[in-house]
């Protein structure tokens, strides 16, 4: 257990539905990252926050995706009008802006869109 | 474009044997290189982290090497155990404002009894 938690661990939804995932980082970490990982591939960067500010977004983050970190603590990732191609593992990681900035990963949320 | 390539894509070895996984990268400017272990359905867990000046780092039966000149790294697993079955991901961090990570595709290792 790295100290980063994600909820839910698994989500099955029908195409067109909206889903929201939550990430609780390690409490003193000021950076929070979201990644997407498909089977057999390494994680792909989606977006990251420093405190409550969203500093960078990947081109993978279409306008159906939105992420928030309102108080600089937990974060949510919402996918609107889900598509079958959204099926993947969504990983959250957190780090402290100092030293080697090592990212600690949560267990992930596995999304299946039917 | 920053890239990390790993080989082999998959590997099957017998319990007790050693193995070496390879990683080549083209990430600039380089900050550090990490090896992660990812069990099926779980998040990645860090094994080792090396900066430019370090050329070897050990963590129990795992030993990572780094050649910053040739931009290559390897992860050597000694006396493999069944619990070593997992994906091993090489990750390179760029010395940018966000310390962005570039992930390799991973090597899927299966240790058989």
Give mean pLDDT in consecutive 10-residue pieces for chain A, a chain of 114 residues.
92 98 94 93 92 89 93 94 96 84 91 97
Q: In whole angstroms, how far apart are CA B51 and each of A100, B31, B74, B77, B83?
A: 9, 6, 14, 20, 28
Nearest to B80 by CA among B31, B17, B11, B35: B17
Structure tokens at B62: 């795992």
CA distance B70 to chain A (A): 22
- The pLDDT of residue B109 is 97
CB pair distance less than 8 Å for B98 and A4: no
pLDDT at A97: 76
- Is A40–B105 a contact, with Cβ atoms under 8 angstroms apart? yes
- What's the gap in Å between the CA of B12 and the closest CA on chain A? 16
Kindly list the strands in the beta sheet with B62-67, ordered across the sheet, starting from the edge strand earlier in the chain.
Answer: B3-7, B19-26, B72-77, B62-67, B56-59
Contact with chain B for residue A74, Cβ under 8 A: no
């Amino acid at each position: 257990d790295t100290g980063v938690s994600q909820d839910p661990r698994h989500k099955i939804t029908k195409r067109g539905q909206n889903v929201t995932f939550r990430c609780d980082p390690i409490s003193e970490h000021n950076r929070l990252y979201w990644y997407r990982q498909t089977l057999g591939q390494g994680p792909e960067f989606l977006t990251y926050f420093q405190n409550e500010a969203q500093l960078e977004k990947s081109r993978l983050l279409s306008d159906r995706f939105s992420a928030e970190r309102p108080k600089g603590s937990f974060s949510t990732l919402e996918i609107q009008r889900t598509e079958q191609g959204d099926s993947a593992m969504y990983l959250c990681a957190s780090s402290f802006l100092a030293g080697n900035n090592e990212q600690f990963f949560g267990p992930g949320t596995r999304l299946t869109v039917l | 474009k920053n890239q990390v390539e790993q080989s082999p894509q998959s590997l099957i070895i017998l319990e007790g044997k050693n193995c070496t996984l390879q990683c080549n990268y083209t990430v600039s400017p380089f900050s550090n290189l990490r090896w992660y272990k990812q069990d099926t359905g779980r998040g990645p867990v860090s094994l080792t982290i090396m900066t430019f000046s370090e050329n070897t780092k050990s963590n129990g039966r795992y030993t990572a090497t780094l050649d910053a000149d040739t931009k290559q790294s390897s992860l050597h697993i000694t006396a493999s155990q069944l619990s070593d079955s997992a994906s091993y991901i090489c990750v390179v961090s760029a010395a940018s404002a966000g310390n962005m990570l570039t992930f390799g595709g991973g090597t899927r290792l299966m240790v058989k009894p």
